[in-house]
Amino acid sequence: VSSHAPEHQGSIYARRAALLRGAMIDEGVDALILTPGPDMLYLTGFSEEAHERLLCLVVSQHAQSVFVCPSLNAEQVLLNPAGVTDIRDWADATGWHAAFHQVAGELELAGATIAVGDDLAARFLLPIQVMLPGVRFVGGGNLVALLRCVKDDEELRLLRRASEITEAACQAGIDACRVGVTEREVADVIERAITSAGATVSFDTIVAAGPNGALPHHRPGGRVLTHGDVVVLDLGATYENYRGDMTRTVAIGEASEEAQVVYDAVYRAGVAATAAVKPGAIPALVDAAARRTIELAGYGDYFIHRTGHGIGLAEHELPNIVDGNETPLEPGNCFSIEPGIYVPGQFGVRLENLVAVTDDGYESLNSPIPERIPVV
Ligand code: ZN
Ligand code: ZN
Ligand code: ZN
């Protein structure tokens, strides 16, 4: 549910469709096929999983967009906020092939170049390729992704709200950390805080204590928090489809000297990377700023992932803050800065905030990260 009046919504989606058509012309793409997911949501305000049934949006350079959908979803699709009215539904008994074939014929796609979204399943793409033998199929994953990575004011408002809820849930999780409590119990506290704030859990909450913290994507389990444990908490709330994502690291009862040294290196890496964020900055150099700090501290081999990822309708999207990404940042980009050090068998430290690039620098969507490891 959005607070926008329908006509304002319509103009947002009309603007996005116009930008997409421009990108399709630039890339020589006649049509784009998208299945449910963030791209469909971005373009129409609608997305609903249809699983093994084909539900797709066909965007053509030359005609109005068309939804092909299972009959059982037709009513929902009709309510799409973008106001796409051309909806071709198909029944289980007849299958989707005829409906799709009809649309392809009307759009004159027989000899066209068709881009497909990254998540168009083989069970659909393979029959479509057989159906349209003269078509050149190309990957369309970047067409909408490049539009999505520049957020407008309304998107930034929702991202800020998602981060506020995430922030409060993180604090609830930290407050729940004490000797004798399990990782799973802390994760439950976090997830309840998210849902009771009217949001949903964006991804499986990570609470990783002691040696588990050395696994960046550890799933919380029955490990009981113990005096001296370093605990990594990584969580996100989704508010009106926009996502939060933050990580804090705390120590239970006391922090060892090594934990303090490692925390300090990760903290300074985050500060160095964040200070490099502004319009025109090269993501590879933002990554390098974090990496160099951790290398100088002697833990370079233990920083085993990129410095950050874009965020919006998806938990991970463009831009990636990674070595090799030379595409300059621009206002409206929103991404994480999340350096980490993972000492195998011992512990891990990761610290993550989201930033949005502004006209002259950046805006942090999270509270400042504590300079020293909080002992709880
Ligand atoms: Zn991750
Ligand atoms: Zn995270
Ligand atoms: Zn992240």
Residue with the bigger pLDDT between 170 and 3: it is 170
Centre of ligand 3 to C-alpha 359, Å, is: 23
Distance from residue 161's CA to the centre of ligand 1 (Å) = 21
pLDDT, tens digit (0-9, with 9 covering 90-100), for 207-255? 999 999 999 999 999 999 999 999 999 999 999 999 999 999 999 999 9
Mean pLDDT over the full length of the chain: 96
Mean pLDDT of the 58-76 span: 96
What is the distance between the alpha carbons of residues 204 and 195, in angstroms, rounded to a whole number?
13
Where residue 3 falls among pLDDT bands split at 50, 70, 90? very low
Q: What is the 3-class SS of the chain, one letter each residue?
A: CCCCCHHHHHHHHHHHHHHHHHHHHHHCCCEEEECCCHHHHHHHCCCCCCCCCCCEEEEECCCCCEEEEEHHHHHHHHCCCCCCCCEEEECCCCCCHHHHHHHHHHCCCCCCEEEECCCCCHHHHHHHHHHCCCCEEEECHHHHHHHHCCCCHHHHHHHHHHHHHHHHHHHHHHHHCCCCCEHHHHHHHHHHHHHHCCCEECCCCEEEEHHHHHCCCCCCCCCECCCCCEEEEEECEEECCEECCEEEEEECCCCCHHHHHHHHHHHHHHHHHHHCCCCCCCHHHHHHHHHHHHHHCCCHHHCCCCCEEECCCCCCEEEEECCCCCCCCCCCCEEEECCEEEECCCEEEECEEEEEECCCCEEECCCCCCCCCCEC
For residue 1, name the pLDDT band (cuts at 50, 70, 90): very low
Can you state the angle between helices 153-176 and 183-196, rounded to 10 degrees? 140
pLDDT given at position 96? 98
CA of 100 to the centre of ligand 3 (A): 37
Which pLDDT value is given to residue 242?
Answer: 98
pTM over 0.85: yes
Ligand 2 geometric centre to CA of 162 (Å): 13
Q: Average of pLDDT values for 332-346?
A: 98
Residue 204: the pLDDT is 96
Share of the chain above pLDDT 70, in %: 97
Check whether 340 has a pLDDT greater than 60: yes
Q: What is the pLDDT of residues 254-282, one digit of tens each?
A: 999 999 999 999 999 999 999 999 999 99
Average pLDDT, integer, range 50-77: 96
The pLDDT of residue 2: 45
Query: What is the mean predicted confidence (pLDDT) over 319-340?
Result: 98
Ligand 2 center–CA 326 separation, angstroms? 23
For the cut 90, the answer to whether the pLDDT of residue 9 exceeds it is: no
User: Could you report the per-residue pLDDT of 125-175, keeping only the tens digit for each?
Assistant: 999 999 999 999 999 999 999 999 999 999 999 999 999 999 999 999 999
What ligand is nearest to the CA atom of residue 315?
Answer: 3
Report the share of the chain in percent with pLDDT over 90: 97
Residue 6 banded pLDDT, cuts 50, 70, 90:
low
Ligand located closest to 237 CA: 2
Ligand closest to 246 (CA) is: 2
